Chains A and B, each alone.
Chain A
Amino acid sequence: MAFQEIKNIQIKGIAACVPEHIENNRTSKVFEETIDADKFVETTGIEKRHTVNGEVICTSDLCLKAAETLIASLNWDKSEIDCLVFVTQTPDYILPATSCILQNRLGLSTECFAIDISLGCSGWVYGLSTIGSLLSSGNFKKGLLLVGDTVTVTKSNLDKSTYPLFGDAGTATALEFKEGADGLKIHTATDGKGFESIIIKDGGFRHFFNENSLKVEKQSDGAIRNNLQSYLNGQDVFIFGISKAPKSILGLIEKYNINKEEIDYLLLHQANFMMNDKIRKKVNIEENKVPYSLNEFGNTSSASIPLTLVTRLSNEMKSGNNKIMACGFGVGLSWGSAYFETENLCCPELIIY
């Protein structure tokens, strides 16, 4: 089992940024009838979503705003930031890596380690694990983890199995080397057997962009989309989520003897309410400890955990200590859980792009 304890680091702050445009699922044209829309909202809990809505706003733009705000709030000297980890599946370009562009746009030192990671819903947990490991030795002192997606760009507005679920967001998490700190306890897992459960078929190097890529067709699952838009097998992903996520959380609790009663908040990747509540019940943690942001922002891919923390818990985070369990699960298939304690976390108000 892939468990890790990463000591000597501390999460100092978290910020998030979303596009201004709001789409309301109850009035969305993707549903033929109001009753379908109402049922969708009732089951998934997703009422509204912030989306880029055709504007050229990249994940990096959202993350940049979040990072700038966070750096200023923390009073960090930019020249002291030694590493930047950018997690997204909606980068600026096929090449170069967006983290390089962000190093420059943020005005970080050229003596900065910068890397892109391609993961979705599990991305924040994996990002924490990666940047935590980079900082833990003390060679690097300060690091920025920028995580987000503009997934709505990849959804067909004729596909009601994906379109109304997703929103766009970018986040920034600041971490620091701190000798003696408890750091992170992490479980990570991968099952590539399910790689086709959530997939954009064309545009990579397996199926290069071609003359058919933009052809909008009714697909075998009944949804209408082209091959540059993402396919989601809701049933497979649902079963995956309700079986793997609770095991990951409970596995981490058992491995490190974490006292479940002492966990202040369980932050789940914001997939949909029905799925998340199943996971919560299996883990057996009280409802009031499991906040949701999906009602207002939808499923925001890798950004969903930090976005939930910023929009639902900022007051609780700002003063005092909190014990947090976070779990991300999805595209890959990839999943993982992270446990950590925060102390007077810097948590600026949500930024609207």
Chain B
Amino acid sequence: MKEQFLNQVKETLEITDREINFEDNFKEYDEWDSLNLLSIIAMIDEEYGVTIDSNTMSKITTIEELYNIIESNK
């Protein structure tokens, strides 16, 4: 489940040239921009039924934190 989420983030951000980790600050990825932000919100909404608001999204930095929010909101 956790691994699957990592893959989903990777696919959503269209990262093909490297592996990504839970500790990564995804907002520092080269691929990170406002459109990808929406893609991530949409993916989480679709796959997990959790809608992350902009305030929460602005506070988190790592993929781990993102995953924890989904877990606590499911």
In the complex, chain B residues whose CB is within 8 Å of the CB of A161: 34
* Complex interface: chain A residues within 8 A of B54 (CB): 233, 235-236, 239
Flag A278-297 by CB within 8 Å of B: 1 or 0 each: 10010000000000000000
Q: B34 touching A234 by the CB < 8 A rule?
A: yes
B41 proximity list for chain A (CB < 8 A): 235, 238-239
Shortest CB distance B35–A (Å): 5
Contact A43 B35 (CB under 8 A): yes
Residue B57 at the chain A interface, CB threshold 8 Å: yes
Q: Which of B3-11, B45-53, B63-71 contacts A (4 or more CB under 8 A)?
A: B45-53
Which residues of chain A in 219-248 are interfacial with respect to chain B, using CB atoms and an 8 Å cutoff?
233-236, 238-239, 242-243
CB distance from B74 to the nearest CB of A (A): 16
A43 with B53: CB separation less than 8 A: no
- Chain A: interface residue total (CB-CB under 8 A): 16
Write the nearest CB–CB distance from A161 to chain B, whole angstroms.
6
**When the two chains form the complex, which single residue of A39, A234, A274 contacts B42, counting CB atoms closer than 8 Å?**
A274
B38 touches A238 (CB 8 A): yes
Considering the complex, give the chain A residue whose CB is closest to the CB of B49.
A282
**A278-B45, A281-B46 as given contacts; A239 in contact with B53, CB under 8 Å:** yes
Q: Which residue of A lies closest to B14 (CB)?
A: A39
On chain B, the residues within 8 Å of A236 by CB distance are 53-54
Counting CB contacts under 8 A, is B20 at the interface? no
**Candidates B34, B39, B46, B51; contact of A239 at CB < 8 Å:** B51
Known: A242-B42, A243-B51, A278-B42. A235 touches B34 (CB 8 A): yes
A126 close to B (CB within 8 Å): no
Expressed in whole angstroms, the Cα–Cα distance for A279 and B52 within the complex equals 16
Known contacts: A242-B45, A278-B45, A278-B46. The answer to whether A235 contacts B38 by CB under 8 A is yes
Bound together, the chains give a CA A233 to CA B38 distance in angstroms of 11
The docked-state distance in angstroms from the alpha carbon of A238 to that of B42 is 9
Inter-chain contacts of B51 with A (CB < 8 A)? 239, 242-243
- How far is B39's CA from A329's CA once the two chains are assembled, in angstroms? 19
User: Within 8 Å CB of B34, what residues of A?
Assistant: 161, 234-235
Given contacts A239-B53, A239-B54, A243-B51, contact A234 B46 (CB under 8 A): no
CA distance A262 to B21 in the complex (A): 47
State whether the Cβ of A339 lies closer than 8 Å to any Cβ in chain B.
no
Chain A nearest CB from B19 CB (Å) reads 23
**Bound complex: CA of A55 vs CA of B42, how far in Å?**
38
Give Cα A39–Cα B37 distance, bound, in whole angstroms.
13
A: which residues have CB within 8 A of B? 39-40, 43, 161, 233-236, 238-239, 242-243, 274-275, 278, 281
8 A–B contacts, CB within 8 A, in A order: A233-B54, A238-B41, A239-B41, A239-B51, A242-B51, A275-B42, A278-B42, A278-B45
- Name B residues whose Cβ lies closer than 8 Å to a Cβ of A: 34-35, 37-39, 41-42, 45-46, 51-54, 57
Q: Assuming A236-B53, A239-B53, A274-B39, what are 18 further A-B pairs, CB within 8 angstroms?
A: A39-B35, A40-B35, A43-B38, A233-B54, A234-B34, A235-B34, A235-B37, A235-B38, A236-B54, A238-B38, A238-B42, A242-B45, A242-B51, A243-B51, A275-B38, A278-B42, A278-B45, A281-B46
